[in-house]
Amino acid sequence: MKQAFIVDAIRTPIGRYGGALSSVRTDDLGAVPLKALIARNPKVDWGALTDVLYGCANQAGEDNRNVAHMSSLLAGLPVEVPGATINRLCGSGLDALGTAARAIKAEEATLMIAGGVESMSRAPS
């Protein structure tokens, strides 16, 4: 069985409900770390990504689409790179990471991006 390794990690700032990040759409927020990963790793063939997995528990209102794929498109990744959004409530981002690791270990994937994104300020009430 192959091993899975985390080779880079980045995150966005943590905001408060109704705070400074409340005007930022979830998919735009999710694109921020993807853009940073692309900029920090210029030698990576980003078209070779097997998948982008994002955890997102809300998935209501503007988050009702595939936030992982929308974020990857906004970050400039090729449209051919798939994305999947996982909802495991509070464990969504961690489940995305575990799913990516399992896919690599099972040799179903070679290069994955996994994380999570949420904006409770923008969730419908």
> Which CATH number fits the domain that encloses residue 65?
3.40.47.10
Q: 61: domain range?
A: 26-122
pLDDT in tens, the chain (125 residues): 799 999 999 988 788 999 999 999 999 999 999 999 999 999 999 999 999 999 998 877 776 789 999 999 999 999 999 999 999 999 999 999 999 999 999 999 999 999 999 988 888 87
- Is residue 7 included in any domain, yes or no? no
95 token code pair: 């489940």
Q: How many domains does the chain have?
A: 1
100-108 contact pairs (CB < 8 A, 24+): 100/4, 100/51, 100/53, 101/4, 102/4, 103/50, 103/51, 104/2, 104/3, 104/4, 105/1, 105/2, 105/3, 105/4, 106/1, 107/1, 107/2, 108/50
- Is residue 16 included in any domain, yes or no? no
User: What is the value of pTM for the model shown?
Assistant: 0.93
SS3 letters for 56-71?
A: CCCCCHHHCCCHHHHH
- Is residue 21 included in any domain, yes or no? no
- Is residue 20 included in any domain, yes or no? no
- Is residue 13 included in any domain, yes or no? no
- Is residue 46 included in any domain, yes or no? yes
What distance separates the 2 farthest-apart alpha carbons in the chain? Answer: 46
pLDDT digits (tens, 9 = 90+) for 71-106: 999 999 999 999 999 999 999 999 999 999 999 999
